[in-house]
Amino acid sequence: MQAGSTVMVVEDDAAVRTVVTDHLRLAGCQVMPHRDGALAWEAFQQTPPDLLILDRMLPGLSGDELCRRVREVSAVPILMLTALGSLEHRIDGLENGADDYLAKPFSLRELQLRVNVQLRRGNPSAPLAFHAGPFRVDAEHRRVWLDGREIALTTREYELLVYLVRNPDRVISRDEILREVWRWGFGDASTVTVHVRRLREKIEADPKIPAYLCTEWGAGYRFVLDGNG
């Protein structure tokens, strides 16, 4: 973990909140623990953290609603930590703007790895700014423009888009995306599907007929820089 990073933990279960808070503090993070979703939202607006970890079932304001509100104003990474671990619930969480989803019960080792991924910044050896077709990327500030218009992206959407623009005209499987973008050796491929859909809504004139982020049925995705997919 990146020592000094600020993490907000929103969890109404006192035991879970304490364990997660203590673990993150031992790792060098500054932790802002909350049990109530509404109070966490007020605190977030005053002092946005580097990472938000939240339960889905919260008093005051649900985790889903808190996630949606945060996503309207910020691209801060969001990790949902919840007992609702079915595929449908995971997809719902991702649709609401979460970047990752960890179901209870969980190991602190897995939590640490997922937090590491969310806090990790771009490869320092990569160019800090570059153009790829109509896309301009500022890696230092993690910003992207398309035809001169800045695109508001979450952390995961940014990392996915940058990986795609750096690998144009090549069929990329969802397993490869999970491995290279999420840093997962295995995982639920529907995570990629949800993020691709969200990314298309931001970069495509018509997300139903994508010109840049094209589906190669049965194989994965192909990114077309000239927009003639």
- pLDDT single digits (tens) 207-228: 999 999 999 999 999 999 988 8
Write out the residue limits of the CATH 3.40.50.2300 domain(s) in the chain.
6-119
Please state whether the peptide bond connecting residue 49 to the residue before it is cis, i.e. omega within 30 degrees of 0.
no
- pLDDT single digits (tens) 149-190: 999 998 889 989 999 988 899 999 999 998 888 877 666 788
**Other CB atoms closer than 10 Å to residue 84's CB: what's the count?**
18
Write out the residue limits of the CATH 1.10.10.10 domain(s) in the chain.
129-223
- Rounded CA-CA distance 28/26 in Å is 5
In CATH terms, the fold of domain 129-223 is Arc Repressor Mutant, subunit A (1.10.10)
DSSP string, 96-147: TT-SEEEESS--HHHHHHHHHHHH----TTS-SEEEETTEEEETTTTEEEET
Question: Is CATH 3.40.50.970 what the domain over 6-119 is classified as, yes or no?
Answer: no
Block residue for tokens 């879970």: 16
